Structure 1
């Protein structure tokens, strides 16, 4: 009888006072799942929730394979949402952004929107200062992946990009697997196969704000990058083909350094060209995922993000083009430099720089890439 009574009480709590309507069920981060249950381009979208025994929560939508929220504890045990994003699919559709997206078919820039492979020249749509950025204007961040949630810790997303889609050759079958570990690590595994020679370079484009407060800029967060070299860019954000040493420059983050310590030193040409940091670092890890690639820390919350990857490079982007025109989750306006992106990758424009790590994928081969975002706390 007691069990029946408690069940009735629980059911009653789902209804608002005086109305026969269910109260909305929200995620720990405050997202309403119903705002993600719709159709885009005749495919169903949804919000998928991963949780672990530590209380961490990761919300992902299959629209663009986007991480929508990441709830982690701070040094006082309070849960913080540490990524930027939107409250609904409609905002993701209507407001162009890369927030949290699984980027493809080629992350970062391809110079002049062209590349040659096996003697064939391919022309791509240009969407960034005369170049192709993040797979073009209709890259993977705007497609609907097929979703299969295996359990409360694993989500598989699959998508087949057609031959010629955004100008790229080959029917490319992709899979992105998100795995939430008990150690508060988000493991992302990328796989792809093709029926024609093509290029592939996938990443995740989460905008991290480790204060859990998008009103706070990234200036005081400590950044460490395990890289002795970087690839400089010109005024159109395109890599020049050089690989330069970070030593004695404002690009040196080999020891923990505040993001904002030198970011406005536009007398240094690279910061002027990037409008801040928007550069690829050559990692010392050489594909060894057991070695730390980068670290981001907030002294205010104590939240630490460690990045590990099989990729040779990492793009650090400091939210330079956030300009206060976009309202994100909970109506918060995203101001310039309210986040830091840590995009593991092949180097930008690799298909046009033959000496750089290859992004070519051929029939019979499998593209495999893995990145880990591991959260912890400094108390």
Structure 2
């Protein structure tokens, strides 16, 4: 999904007091990050860089600012380390929502994606949410949503970290005090495994996801449309010009939305197709074949991305019914990002596992086909969402 360009205000530099550590002699991560560049105090809470790794050359760096993935390093076909996600190399840029707004790598909540007209109905009452996207609510309110909150580090090992967050009743208009966790684990098979969990004391909506932007080519200074994509979905949900689903569920067959066979993204980029024209690329929800009879199969590949340049294959697994796929349509802002690189438009692909966009509205309206995407969570219930990114090296693209 697109960056929140021009929509994020307020958290920023005024509340940030940076540590006075000497960074000249700090040991860099494999991805070239300086951990001290992430040491800060924001609104009285400490931020830091967490490094996870395994014995097979995989390294994942995260910060508790927004529960964000900052870098993912995996070996390429020449066994050379490649950083495959976009981001910044310092906390200042992540926190500066005016000059460098982004959702890079964030743990999104309480509701990922859009809610039409910024309102929901819970327990028979209408709640008005913070509008931050053309009158609609996007990613839980944007700069005051979870992607710009400081997560507590509940537990940490060499290969795993648990972020926790308590969101207050009324936060950005949402009902209920929510206690949420996001557990990131680097596994021995080069999988970054992510588990989101939450509880509430009032009926509310929950829809968490990770928002990492992938470029597997090893050179994020160039467009990434030569990457080969696969999406295990027969149907998708068309959207209007404001990215709100129309309520229809359409077949991908015979359209540029059909990625049931691995295909270079460029080969499907047909701007005569209104859905691609409206979004200037892909920014849509696919209805995953891996979700059936009310249950998601998180052992079967939901989507994949492959780089013929590096041989790196990314496979995506989830128990969620939908996958929002975004192809960096609003990148290319000229902002210097990680290691000073200026990312061009269409440089990356984001896989957001989640409930269908605007599910709160569609569920209340009893829109046909949206019943499998119920985002409402009641007291006593537990929210559980699983997302996994598995990396390997292949000679050719596979599922």
Q: Same fold (TM over 0.5)?
A: yes
What is the correspondence of 1:120-269 to structure 2 with a 5 Å cutoff? 120-137=125-142, 138-263=144-269, 265-269=270-274
Alpha-carbon distance in structure 2 between the residues aligned to 1:55 and 1:185 = 12
Bigger Rg, which one: 1
Range with bigger deviation, 58-67 or 123-132: 123-132
Alpha-carbon distance in structure 2 between the residues aligned to 1:108 and 1:150 = 29
Alpha-carbon distance in structure 1 between the residues aligned to 2:336 and 2:128 = 35
The residue that corresponds to 2:60 in the other structure is 58
The residue that corresponds to 2:25 in the other structure is 23
Determine helix, strand or coil for the equivalent of 1:80.
strand
TM-score (normalizing by structure 2): 0.88
How far is the alpha carbon of 1:22 from its aligned partner? 6.6
Determine helix, strand or coil for the equivalent of 1:186.
strand
Aligned length: 359
Question: What are the Cα deviations for residues 76-123 of structure 1, in whole angstroms up to 9, with x where unaligned?
Answer: 101000000001111101121100000000000000111212321111
Alpha-carbon distance in structure 1 between the residues aligned to 2:239 and 2:186 = 35
Cα 1:269–1:43 change in 2 (3 A) is same
Question: What are the Cα deviations for residues 171-213 of structure 1, in whole angstroms up to 9, with x where unaligned?
Answer: 0000000010000000000000000000000000000000121
Range with bigger deviation, 55-64 or 316-325: 316-325
- Whether the 8 Å contact between 1:83 and 1:212 is mirrored in structure 2 is no
Question: What are the Cα deviations for residues 11-43 of structure 1, in whole angstroms up to 9, with x where unaligned?
Answer: xxxxxxxxx997221000000000001111111
Q: Does 1:108 align with 2:121?
A: no
The residue that corresponds to 2:17 in the other structure is none
Q: Does 1:278 align with 2:287?
A: no
Range with bigger deviation, 209-218 or 292-301: 209-218
What is the RMSD computed on CA atoms of the aligned residues?
Answer: 1.2
Alpha-carbon distance in structure 2 between the residues aligned to 1:182 and 1:251 = 34
The residue that corresponds to 2:385 in the other structure is 369
Cα 1:209–1:155 change in 2 (3 A) is same
How far is the alpha carbon of 1:262 from its aligned partner? 2.5
The residue that corresponds to 2:9 in the other structure is none
Alpha-carbon distance in structure 2 between the residues aligned to 1:167 and 1:24 = 42
Cα 1:117–1:148 change in 2 (3 A) is closer
Determine helix, strand or coil for the equivalent of 1:353.
helix
- Whether the 8 Å contact between 2:232 and 2:260 is mirrored in structure 1 is yes
Determine helix, strand or coil for the equivalent of 1:228.
strand
The residue that corresponds to 1:87 in the other structure is 89
Alpha-carbon distance in structure 2 between the residues aligned to 1:213 and 1:124 = 39
Alpha-carbon distance in structure 1 between the residues aligned to 2:23 and 2:31 = 23
- Whether the 8 Å contact between 1:194 and 1:361 is mirrored in structure 2 is yes
Alpha-carbon distance in structure 2 between the residues aligned to 1:55 and 1:107 = 31
Alpha-carbon distance in structure 1 between the residues aligned to 2:34 and 2:63 = 12
Range with bigger deviation, 21-30 or 286-295: 21-30
Alpha-carbon distance in structure 2 between the residues aligned to 1:58 and 1:240 = 37
The residue that corresponds to 1:38 in the other structure is 40
Q: Does 1:298 align with 2:314?
A: no
5+ residue gaps in structure 1?
1-19
- Whether the 8 Å contact between 2:324 and 2:354 is mirrored in structure 1 is yes
5+ residue gaps in structure 2?
1-21
- Whether the 8 Å contact between 2:222 and 2:343 is mirrored in structure 1 is no
Question: What are the Cα deviations for residues 135-165 of structure 1, in whole angstroms up to 9, with x where unaligned?
Answer: 1121111000001343101100000000000
Alpha-carbon distance in structure 2 between the residues aligned to 1:350 and 1:25 = 45
Cα 1:21–1:47 change in 2 (3 A) is closer
Runs of 4+ displaced beyond 3 Å: none
TM-score (normalizing by structure 1): 0.93
Alpha-carbon distance in structure 2 between the residues aligned to 1:222 and 1:365 = 39
